[in-house]
C-alpha cells in the first residue's frame, strides 16, 4: 500500500479530501492528517510517506515551501496540491517544483476517481523503476546505490538479515499488496508478476525465526517460499538472496506447494556421483537403469533440493566431458547454475531423462544409423518454430518429441548447423528481441521480461548484462 498524509489548516478540508477518494481500491492508505505543518514535517522526515496532499496557502509554512524543504532534504516524497481558485498561479508554480497534480476546492467528485487512478499508475511505474534499480544494486552489492534508493540499509551493523523469495500461482491483478511483514523491518522487491523478494532485518536473530511462522502464509495464493540462513553481515545479502531462491526452487523437484529452508545436503549426493563416474569410466552402462531409479527415489525420500541438483549435474557433466570429450563435443553439456537449469529443463525428471539419453547414446554410439536427410528437414522446422515462439517456455525435450528428432541428436544439430547450443540460440534470440523492445517501446522492463520469454526480472537482468555488458536499465538510457 502507498502511504498518504493530508495537510490543511482547516479540519473540514482534511475531512473532505479523506472522503472524496476511494483510497484502498487504488492501493493507498492514509497514515496521517495534520493541521500543523511543523508536525507534518517531523512525520515526513521520520516516516517518509509516499504521497502528501497539502493546501498551498497555510499560516505557518506554505505548501510550496514544504515542497522546497523536502527536496532540499532529498526525501523521496510526492505532492498533490490543494488550491483555491485565487491561488491558481501559485499552484502552477508548485507544479514546476515537481508536484504531481493539483485540484481546486471544493473537490469535484466526478474528478476524484480519474485523479486517484492517475496517481496509482504513476506510483506503479515509479515502484517498477525503483524495483529495477534496487535489484541491480543488490546483484552488484552496490552499498552506496542501495542507501541512495532506500533507507532500509541505514545502520546495517545493528541488524541481522534474512531473505525470503515467494512464488505465486497467479499474477497480481489489483493495486493491493500482500502485507505479510511490517514495512519498517522489511524491504519488498518484486522480481516479476509472480515472484517477490523480502529482505527481513531485526536487532535479534531469534526474531527472524519468530516472524516466519508458517501460519503467516496460510490461505494465500502461494506456490513456494524459500527461506535463507541468517547473517549479521550486510555484505552477505547477495548470498542470502541466492540461498532463498535455491530453496524456493525445490518446486523443480516435486512441483508441490511448500515452504522450504535452505539446508545443503551435498554429502547425500556424493555416493551417487561416485557410482555414476565408475559406470561411465568403466563403460558399464547396463547398470545405469538401476542407478537412475535409485537416484530419483533418494532425492524424494531425503527432501534434497535445488542445490543438490546443481551439484549432481555439474559433477556428472565433468565426468562425461572428461571421459568422452570427442564424442560429446556437440552436446549441450555445460556447467550450469540453478537458474540456468530451471530455464533449460522443465523439472528434475526431465533433467534425469536427458542424462539417461546421453548414457544410452554413448552405449549405442556405433550401433545406430539415421536418415539424416529426413531429420534435418524436421530440424529446420524446429528452428522456425523457436523463432516464432521464443516468448513461451521452450524445452529441448518437448521440441524433440514435437519434431521427431532424438534429443541427443538435436544437441549435435544445433552445434553443427547453427554453431551454438540450443540454450545459446534461444537466449541470444530473446535478448535481441528485448533490445528491440527497450529501444522502440515504452513497455516497462518487467513487461519486456515476460514478452521475451523470461520468468523473472532477476534472472533476465543477469543474462542481459552477461550478453550486452550493461543492465537493461542502462541500455535503455543509452
pTM score: 0.74
The model's pLDDT over 156-192, given as tens digits with 9 standing for 90+, comes to 778 899 999 988 877 654 444 455 666 678 888 887 7
pLDDT at 29: 93
Given this model, what pLDDT does residue 82 score?
Answer: 84
Candidate from 99-108, 196-205, 226-235, 465-474 with smallest mean pLDDT? 99-108
- Distance in angstroms (rounded) separating the CA atoms of residues 63 and 105: 15
**Residue-level pLDDT at 172:** 59
Q: What pLDDT shows up at residue 369?
A: 46
Whole-number average pLDDT of the chain? 86
pLDDT for residue 28 is more than 90: yes
Question: Which band of pLDDT confidence, cut at 50, 70 and 90, is reported for residue 206?
Answer: confident
Q: Which domains does the chain have, with CATH numbers?
A: 2-124 (3.40.50.2300), 151-261 (3.30.70.270), 266-424 (no CATH), 425-477 (1.10.10.60)
φ/ψ region of 326 (left if φ > 0, alpha if ψ in -120 to 50, else beta) reads alpha
Lowest mean pLDDT among 23-37, 142-156, 289-303, 335-349: 142-156
pLDDT at residue 211 is higher than 80: no
Rounded CA-CA distance 38/17 in Å is 20
Between 431 and 108, residue with greater pLDDT: 431
pLDDT at 59: 83
- Mean pLDDT (whole number) for 208-226: 71
Q: What are phi and psi of 385, to 5 degrees?
A: -60, -45
pLDDT one-digit tens code per residue, 292-346: 999 999 999 998 999 999 999 999 999 999 988 888 888 889 999 999 999 999 9
The answer to whether 58 and 8 have CB atoms below 8 angstroms apart is: yes
Instruction: Calculate mean pLDDT across residues 18-36.
Output: 93
How confident is the model at residue 415, as a pLDDT?
Answer: 87
First to last CA, the chain: 33
pLDDT at residue 436 greater than cutoff 90: yes
Amino acid at each position: 500500500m502507498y502511504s498518504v498524509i493530508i495537510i490543511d489548516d482547516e479540519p473540514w478540508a482534511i475531512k473532505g479530501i479523506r472522503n472524496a477518494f476511494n483510497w484502498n481500491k487504488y492501493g493507498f492508505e492514509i497514515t496521517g492528517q495534520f493541521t500543523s505543518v511543523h508536525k507534518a514535517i517531523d512525520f515526513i522526515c521520520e516516516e517518509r510517506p509516499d504521497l502528501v496532499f497539502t493546501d498551498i496557502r497555510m499560516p505557518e509554512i506554505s505548501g510550496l515551501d514544504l515542497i522546497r524543504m523536502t527536496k532540499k532534504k532529498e526525501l523521496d516524497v510526492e505532492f498533490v496540491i490543494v488550491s483555491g481558485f485565487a491561488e491558481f498561479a501559485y499552484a502552477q508554480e508548485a507544479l514546476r517544483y515537481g508536484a504531481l497534480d493539483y485540484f481546486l476546492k471544493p473537490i469535484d467528485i466526478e474528478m476524484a476517481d480519474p485523479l486517484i487512478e492517475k496517481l496509482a499508475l504513476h506510483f506503479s511505474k515509479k515502484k517498477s523503476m525503483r524495483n529495477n534499480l534496487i535489484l541491480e544494486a543488490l546483484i552488484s552489492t552496490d552499498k552506496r546505490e542501495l542507501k541512495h534508493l532506500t533507507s532500509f540499509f541505514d545502520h546495517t551493523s545493528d541488524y541481522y538479515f534474512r531473505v525470503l523469495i515467494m512464488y505465486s500461482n497467479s499474477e497480481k491483478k489489483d493495486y493491493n499488496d500482500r502485507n505479510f511483514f511490517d514495512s519498517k523491518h522489511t524491504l519488498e522487491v518484486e522480481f516479476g508478476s509472480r515472484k517477490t523478494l523480502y529482505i527481513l532485518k531485526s536487532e535479534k536473530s531469534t526474531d527472524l525465526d519468530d516472524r516466519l511462522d508458517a501460519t503467516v502464509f496460510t490461505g494465500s495464493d502461494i506456490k513456494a517460499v524459500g527461506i535463507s540462513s541468517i547473517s549479521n553481515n550486510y555484505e552477505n545479502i547477495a548470498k542470502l538472496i541466492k540461498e532463498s531462491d535455491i530453496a524456493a526452487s525445490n518446486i523443480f523437484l516435486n512441483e508441490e506447494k511448500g515452504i522450504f529452508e535452505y539446508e545443503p545436503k551435498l554429502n547425500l549426493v556424493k555416493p551417487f556421483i561416485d557410482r555414476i563416474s565408475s559406470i561411465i569410466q568403466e563403460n558399464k552402462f547396463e547398470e545405469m537403469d538401476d542407478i537412475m531409479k535409485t537416484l530419483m527415489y533418494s532425492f524424494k525420500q531425503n527432501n534434497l533440493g535445488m542445490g543438490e541438483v546443481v551439484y549432481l549435474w555439474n559433477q556428472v557433466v565433468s565426468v562425461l566431458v572428461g571421459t568422452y570429450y570427442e564424442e560429446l563435443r556437440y552436446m549441450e553439456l555445460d556447467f550450469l547454475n540453478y537458474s540456468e537449469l530451471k530455464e533449460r529443463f522443465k523439472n528434475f525428471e526431465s533433467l534425469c531423462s536427458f542424462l539417461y539419453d546421453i548414457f544410452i547414446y554413448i552405449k549405442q554410439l556405433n550401433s545406430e544409423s539415421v536418415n539424416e536427410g529426413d531429420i534435418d528437414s524436421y530440424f529446420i522446422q524446429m528452428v522456425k518454430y523457436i523463432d516464432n515462439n521464443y516468448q513461451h517456455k521452450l524445452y529441448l525435450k518437448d521440441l524433440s518429441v514435437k519434431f521427431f528428432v532424438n534429443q541427443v541428436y538435436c544437441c549435435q544439430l544445433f552445434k553443427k548447423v547453427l554453431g551454438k547450443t540450443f540454450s545459446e540460440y534461444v537466449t541470444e534470440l530473446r535478448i535481441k528481441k528485448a533490445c528491440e523492445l527497450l529501444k522502440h517501446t515504452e513497455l516497462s522492463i518487467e513487461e519486456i521480461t515476460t514478452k521475451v520469454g523470461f520468468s523473472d526480472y532477476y534472472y533476465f537482468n543477469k543474462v542481459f548484462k552477461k550478453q550486452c555488458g550493461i543492465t537493461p536499465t542502462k541500455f535503455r538510457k543509452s
